[in-house]
Amino acid sequence: MPLSKRLAAEFIGTFWLVLGGCGSAVLAAAFPNVGIGLTGVSFAFGLTVLTMAYGIGHISGCHLNPAVSVGLVAGGRFPARDLLPYIVAQVLGAIAAAAFLYVIATGKAGADIGNFASNGYDDRSPGKYGLGAAALTELVMTFMFLLIILGATDGRAPAGFAGLAIGLGLTLIHLISIPVTNTSVNPARSTGQALFVGAAAIKQLWLFWFVPIVGAGLAGYFYRWLGESKS
């Protein structure tokens, strides 16, 4: 598949992930009487990945996340030469979705975007968790997410179920970690929202790039060893 088509798929897929996941948090989670809450937002993120896994997985691999792309390179599943273009496409897709969501969220009188589903620690954490707790959470959650992805897409795994495992894995990750960081495990998703929140979110954005990428890289190398068939 030509790189241009794969990048277009990554852009659209990441757009859908941010629009579906962050959109559910911004527009639906606190809606009077019918708010979907933490559980609903968690499933929304999982469903975006599940639907795109079957929608574009055969085109681009459905990474939708710079950390996933890094983890797949570390795991020997993705060529390093395509890493930077994938990351650019993912970040642009996330920013486009955040812009679209911002226009919708501010389309009524007295609108206040609040934290706009952005990620954070200390005062910006939903549960007021500190930097150490936030970093450890993002590291472990991203590590586990990549293990799920690498295992579910292994040629020895049951065919046709990877999207389901990955989508449900992301749902579980959100159920665990929304109270701590509002769940990133995805630098592109964090970047799009932070740009519209402003300085407070941008100041903490480094964590949601550095830690998920480290966690994903560690998982890639670990699964390369774990899944090796040689005794």
Q: For the chain of 231 residues, list the mean pLDDT of each consecutive stretch of 10.
A: 96 98 90 82 97 97 98 97 98 98 91 92 98 98 98 92 97 98 98 97 98 98 86 52
pLDDT of residue 31: 75
DSSP state of 158: P
Residue 109's pLDDT is what? 84
CB-CB contact of 129 with 179 (8 Å): yes
pLDDT of residue 202: 98
Q: State residue 117's pLDDT score.
A: 96
Q: Which residue has the tokens 């500190």?
A: 130
Full-model pTM:
0.95
Q: What is the secondary structure of 205-220 as a DSSP string?
A: TTHHHHHHHHHHHHHH
CA distance 196 to 193: 6
Q: Residue holding tokens 């996340």?
A: 65
Round to whole Å and give the CA distance between 54 and 182: 26
Q: Which fold has domain 3-106+119-226?
A: Glycerol uptake facilitator protein (1.20.1080)
* In contact, 133 and 112? CB cutoff 8 Å: no
CA distance 90 to 229: 33
d(CA 103, CA 97): 10
